[in-house]
Amino acid sequence: MSAPVRFPRFFVTTPSPCPYLPGRTERKVFTELKGPDAEQLNEALGRIGFRRSQTVAYRPSCAGCHACVSVRVVADEFSPSKSQRRSLRANSDLVATECRPWATEEQFDLLCRYLSARHPEGGMSTMDEMDYADMVEHTPVSSYVIEYREPADGLQQGRLVGACLTDRQVDGLSMIYSFFDPDHESRSGLGNYIILDHIRRAAADGLPYVYLGYWVEGSDRMQYKVKFRPMERLSRSGWERVSDEEHRRLLRGSADGTRSKVVAGDPASFRK
């Protein structure tokens, strides 16, 4: 006799202040990822706009607001822009290594510097080492941490300057949360470089997409995502390609030279 099919139970959080659009509230619908079907469930939910945080899959469910839009980059059709090519050249010496999802003190120290500089009042700024370990290690799916290091100097491995917690899915890479050295002024666009490297990895592995989480029009901290094209967004009728004309409009709305406040993905600690 085959095992019974487990249908997930969904829950809704209480409303709280929206971190992206002032004066609005947010609400999320979520379910647990557990049991032998956790990976398949996460894959299915990811295709309809859910994100993973530890052992929870969630998506916005805000009354009267649909500003949060799931977006993904079409990896095998991607062609870097002039500024993205500069970022690739500036960081081409970095050594990227796929590591098992195991938190290290070095990663946590880098995260603290990143949050202190970019999100001093954000919800993740109070994370301690245990919280970070939970974020990285509590995963029921195929996950890894990609570390970005400077070249080795003699017998010592290079300094850690970036990292990304990534889920590998059947149809692409999902960037759960990434962070980098905010004071490394000698390098151009470390945050963008991490996304570019994920696009390259996905294309090399024959994976069609890189999932960047949610984009929120009108939120400065999300505007960096529209700089990666071709891009698809999730609508009520399914995934659709962002047209060239629409992309140009979105790029005009993104201030040139504005420093991205978030790299990729969304806050990975689901605290509702």
Q: Which residues contact 95 (CB under 8 A, 6 or more apart)?
A: 148, 149, 150, 151, 152, 158
Res 6: pLDDT: 66
Planar angle of CA 227, 233, 239, nearest 5 degrees: 145
Grouping H, G, I as helix, E, B as strand and the rest as coil, residue 178 is strand
Domain limits at 219? 69-252
Q: How many domains does the chain have?
A: 1
- At 195, which CATH number? 3.40.630.30
Residue 162 has pLDDT above 60, yes or no: yes
User: Cα(261)–Cα(189) distance, rounded to whole angstroms?
Assistant: 12
- Does residue 218 fall inside a structural domain? yes
Q: Are the beta carbons of 15 and 2 closer than 8 angstroms? A: no
Grouping H, G, I as helix, E, B as strand and the rest as coil, residue 179 is strand
- Interval 210-220: pLDDT, tens: 999 999 987 77
Mean pLDDT of the chain: 88
- Does residue 223 fall inside a structural domain? yes
- Does residue 190 fall inside a structural domain? yes
pTM of the entire predicted model: 0.89
- Does residue 207 fall inside a structural domain? yes
- Does residue 130 fall inside a structural domain? yes
Listed range (1-15, 33-47, 74-88, 177-191) with the worst mean pLDDT = 1-15
Question: What integer is the mean pLDDT of 113-130?
Answer: 83
